[in-house]
A = this chain, B = another copy of it.
Amino acid sequence: MQLNEIVEKLKQGQSGVVDFKISNNTVILAAASLEKAKENEISFLDNNSSLNLRNFIKTSKAAALLLPADDDFIIEITKQISIDWILLKDPKIAFAETLEFLYPSEIESEGIHKSAVIGENVKIGLGVSIGANAYIGDNTEIGAGTIVHAGVVVYKNVSIGAKNLIHANSVIHSGSKLGDECVINANAVIGGEGFGFVPTSRGWKKMPQVGIVILKDKVEVGSGSTIDRPSVGETLIGEDTKIDNLVQIGHGVTTGKGCAMAAQVGIAGGAQIGDAVILAGQVGVSNKVKVGDRVIASSKTGIISNIEAGKVISGFPAIPNKLWLRCSANFKKLPEIAKAIRHLDRRNSR
């Protein structure tokens, strides 16, 4: 694809083309990072990149660059370099769109593989693809255009919407309901039994888990992540919420729309997560805690009580991020602090 074609396509997109220079109009064959891009490749520089990275564009070997339009330093450089460039309001979105142009996802609809096992009374929409050795339980519905990869197991009575992408060897338990355009990555488990045991004099008594898991539209669940169903009612993941790998979502958790949860986050049973909440890697949320809209928790944060909307938090137990940064800086000084007190104490007791 030639660079002028990419410019025309970007103008139709969301990235905001502000200006461009096309003198070589090279054929763009691939995309790469700024450090690694070479001839016939396109790369990008994000808004607010480090000086180190911004300087890279002077020596880049890329054929074309997607650059931030609001950066005088960059605009100055563009006058000095021979590489073609496009100035954009959001070069990262432009790069995402360019990747879509350059690497169109293959339409993989290949029908139902002859080794797949389909139960009774299963409704399968138009253009659905079901891979080798997949299993679809009785009374399950799969909407149009959904792709189920090899080895997936869907239990009975599951409802899967349209245009879902369900990767290999993932498991979807009975009663689960998936909206449209969800992605379930490999080996994820949706709707497994919640961890509910009541202590008795004769040992643990299992609380039956007869609820279900609901994923709204555009939910994505990472490889190996697990989302449990509750004893009664629903575990609910809101529209456009994105979940990374090896994340645990306990029984009865609800999340709002547009959340992002990084790898190895764990959310205990019954926690209520608002809209647009961002939880970084290895964050934990205790059971029944309420986390307000737009809360951001940095990595390894432990949230053990309710958090108001809009807070940026860190640490365990979670405190405001800025306070945590200062506390952590002082944590390193604890030996000195303890020594200073011993010293002061001695002086005072003289």
Interface residues of A (CB under 8 A from B): 14, 30-33, 36, 90, 92-93, 95-96, 99-100, 102-103, 105, 113, 115, 117, 131-133, 135, 149-151, 153, 155, 167-169, 171, 173, 183, 185-187, 189, 192-193, 195, 197-198, 200, 202-208, 210, 218, 222-226, 228, 231-233, 240, 242, 244-246, 248, 250, 257-258, 260, 262-264, 266, 268, 281-282, 284, 286, 299-300, 302, 304, 315-317, 319, 323, 326-328, 330-335, 337-338, 340-341, 344-345, 347-348
Q: Are B132 and A150 in contact (CB under 8 A)?
A: no
Chain B hits for A100, CB < 8 A: 208
Q: Are A189 and B331 in contact (CB under 8 A)?
A: no
Chain B hits for A317, CB < 8 A: 328
Chain B hits for A319, CB < 8 A: 332
Chain B hits for A206, CB < 8 A: 96
* A332 (CB) vs chain B CBs: closest residue: B319
Given contact pairs A14-B202, A151-B153, A200-B93, A103 touches B330 in the complex (Cβ within 8 A): no
Q: How far is the CA of A232 from the CA of B347 in the complex (A)?
A: 59
Q: How far is the CA of A192 from the CA of B205 in the complex (A)?
A: 29
Q: Are B323 and A205 in contact (CB under 8 A)?
A: no
Q: Are B198 and A92 in contact (CB under 8 A)?
A: yes
Q: How far is the CA of A203 from the CA of B197 in the complex (A)?
A: 38
Number of identical monomers bound together in the oligomeric complex? 3
Chain B hits for A232, CB < 8 A: 30-33, 36, 99
Chain B hits for A333, CB < 8 A: 338
Q: How far is the CA of A171 from the CA of B187 in the complex (A)?
A: 8
Q: How far is the CB of A96 from chain B (nearest CB, A)?
A: 5
Chain B hits for A92, CB < 8 A: 198, 207
Q: How far is the CA of A225 from the CA of B264 in the complex (A)?
A: 11
Q: How far is the CB of A348 from chain B (nearest CB, A)?
A: 6
Q: Are A210 and B99 in contact (CB under 8 A)?
A: yes
* A50 (CB) vs chain B CBs: closest residue: B288
Q: Which of the residues B204, B248, B281, B335 comes within 8 Å of A240, measured between beta carbons?
A: B204
Q: Are B300 and A302 in contact (CB under 8 A)?
A: yes
Q: Are B282 and A266 in contact (CB under 8 A)?
A: yes
Q: Are A248 and B248 in contact (CB under 8 A)?
A: no
